[in-house]
Structure 1
Amino acid sequence: MSDEILVGYDGSPDASTALAWALDEAGRTGQPVRLAYVFEWLTVAGWVGPSVTPGAWPDETARRQVEELVHKAASDAAAAHPGLTVHGEVFDGPPALVLQERSAEAALLVLGSRGHGGFTGLLTGSTAVSVSAHAHCPVVVVRGDAPTATGKRIVVGVDGSELSLVALGFAVERAEQRGVPLHVVRTWAAAQWRTQGFDPDEADATERTTLAEELARWRESFPNVPVTTQVGPGNPASALVEASREAQLVVVGSRGRGGLRGTLLGSVSQQVLQHAHCPVAVVRER
């Protein structure tokens, strides 16, 4: 593992937006940035890999063009951000698989919501969803037109699960770095509480008390970060998507307490990835 920010880059507008977000993040942290262009060699029969015989498909001219593209993008980024270290590299293989593997050596992986394989109007692409489910480090999927929204809060979903508490730590650290408030969202299912014999007021009070206990250590460690909370019955994904309208980043754990063990990406995380109005960070333990 390194402190490097890895950016999935294919020259598409969404990838350029992701790169801008990563450079903005690196400008605060001083982390090096690496652009990763994954060059997939395909034939009618499927994946053939780099062992294809010379002179056969793919065209080496296309490979050189890809290398020139990514190296120019890295060079331009470094020139525009003279205090940062920026590299570009071309890898061979299926994009999702290669990015997942490379994430084991990165501190953060940043992706656009769609690449060249996507179509305007579609939701988050399959590569972004797959990588978010399998990566070895936190993944930021950059949604929306702007990579950053200065001054807007950071939103995090906390349901008491282990991974949501990891997400909380990630979120509060980013809030301090950016000098913005943190907004913590926690929802509960009224039907579940009724089966346990609790009335809504008692359920709400219990959830608020539990959340306050979970926040206590972070309030103490980051006293300069203003924290607001939103607690109530409802659908967690819907609440987070709505909160994302006024956020610069939404942070979720890869799987919450409603997820099944062995499930890599929970339904809430997937829905937020698909519908949020700002970049989404999916966080898991290594």
Structure 2
Amino acid sequence: MTAKRIIVGYDRSADARAAARWALDEAARTAALVEFFYAYEWPEWAPAASTIPAPAVWPDGETDRAIKGSLHEAVTAAKQTHPGVRTEISIVQASTALMLIERSADAGLIVVGSRGHSAVAGLLGSVSVAVSAHAHCPVIVVRGDAAATRPVVVGVDDSPSAHLALDFAVEQAVARGVPLRVIRAWRPVTGIWENSALVTRTVTAEERRPLDELVAGWRDKYPHLDISAEAVVDHPANALALASTTAQLLVVGTRGRGAVRGMVLGSVSQHLLHHSACTVAVVRELPGA
């Protein structure tokens, strides 16, 4: 990965602190700058009768000072734990999802915790789903506390986003010096195909040949990287969730599309954002792609 900035959504929660640690560790490997980012949408409400005093539309000075104080505390802590990593802070009064998507065009990674509390809405839920589906760089949702010796796992299929996910996963496994598990899952079939080999929960050599050829190319490029290729008959969400229990990072692509505030991720990516046992990387685009 290039040394572009890593933007971490930070709200002082335990999950945001975990996201910050992940971002700082990554920055220590890549020489990227870490930006501690806070965005909030203040309720724009005013009573219909002008004679009734209205609350402030935007946060008051005390609120702003508290937010800035928490971000500066995060920067101070980062200097102690990761003295070689460059940091900065940013605060915006706008849509969290829209701002993170916009900022992702100039970032190497967006990193958020699995839950969070902003002024109005948490960073997971509609915001994280939308950002993961529309960001111009990989989005990391930090979950669990897996050992650094565990492998990186990537789910692949025939989609372009899956190939981008594999590129990212290889890079991460090489940088971390851990094995890479490449998993291709075929959904079990029913109906007129019930007599096929898939119903016996096996994958034929012909069906898995593209996977083996794909992995062989990466083995040639990185001969010292331990790569395994696994073809299974299972729903991809279930297969990858199971693999996440012994992984440190789970990488998936996304075919998400649609309105920014909708449930726009594919069902597999969306399921894993909420149920993976380890940190999830959703790769829709790679920086500079």
TM-score band, normalised by the shorter chain? 0.7 to 0.9
> AA paired with 2:241?
V
> AA paired with 2:75?
A
Q: Matches of 1:196 and 1:184 in 2, distance apart? A: 27
Shift of 1:160: 2.0
> AA paired with 1:97?
L
Query: 2:158 aligned to 151, 157, 160, which one?
Result: 160
Contact 1:123 1:275 in 2 (8 A): no
Change (3 A) 1:123 1:23: closer
Shift of 1:264: 4.9
Give the aligned partner of residue 50 of structure 2. none
Deviation track 1:216-257 (CA, whole Å, cap 9, x = no partner) reads 2211111111011221211000000000000000000012xx
Contact 2:116 2:123 in 1 (8 A): no
> AA paired with 1:242?
L
> AA paired with 1:37?
Y
Change (3 A) 1:223 1:96: same
Contact 2:116 2:124 in 1 (8 A): no
Shift of 1:27: 1.4
For this pair of structures, how many residues does the alignment match? 271
Is 1:76 aligned to residue 116 of structure 2?
no
Give the aligned partner of residue 280 of structure 1. 280
Paired residue secondary structure (1:246)? coil
Paired residue secondary structure (1:42)? coil
Give the aligned partner of residue 49 of structure 2. none
Shift of 1:135: 1.2
Ranges in structure 1 where 5+ consecutive residues have no aligned partner: 46-54
Contact 2:130 2:264 in 1 (8 A): no
Ranges in structure 2 where 5+ consecutive residues have no aligned partner: 47-55
Give the aligned partner of residue 253 of structure 1. 253
Paired residue secondary structure (2:157)? coil
Change (3 A) 1:261 1:100: closer
Q: Matches of 2:195 and 2:60 in 1, distance apart? A: 68
State the 4+ residue runs in structure 1 displaced beyond 4 angstroms: 192-198, 259-264
> AA paired with 1:185?
I
Contact 2:154 2:169 in 1 (8 A): yes
Paired residue secondary structure (1:247)? coil
> AA paired with 1:139?
V
Paired residue secondary structure (1:107)? strand
Contact 1:110 1:140 in 2 (8 A): yes
Higher mean displacement: 201-210 or 80-89: 201-210
Q: Matches of 1:58 and 1:260 in 2, distance apart? A: 33
The alignment's TM-score, normalised by the length of structure 2, stands at 0.84
Aligned positions of 1:117-266 closer than 5 A: 124-144=124-144, 146=145, 148-191=146-189, 195=193, 199-200=197-198, 203-255=203-255, 264-266=264-266
Contact 2:111 2:141 in 1 (8 A): yes
The alignment's TM-score, normalised by the length of structure 1, stands at 0.85
Change (3 A) 1:241 1:30: same
Aligned positions of 1:33-72 closer than 5 A: 33-44=34-45, 57-72=58-73
Shift of 1:188: 1.2
Change (3 A) 1:199 1:56: closer
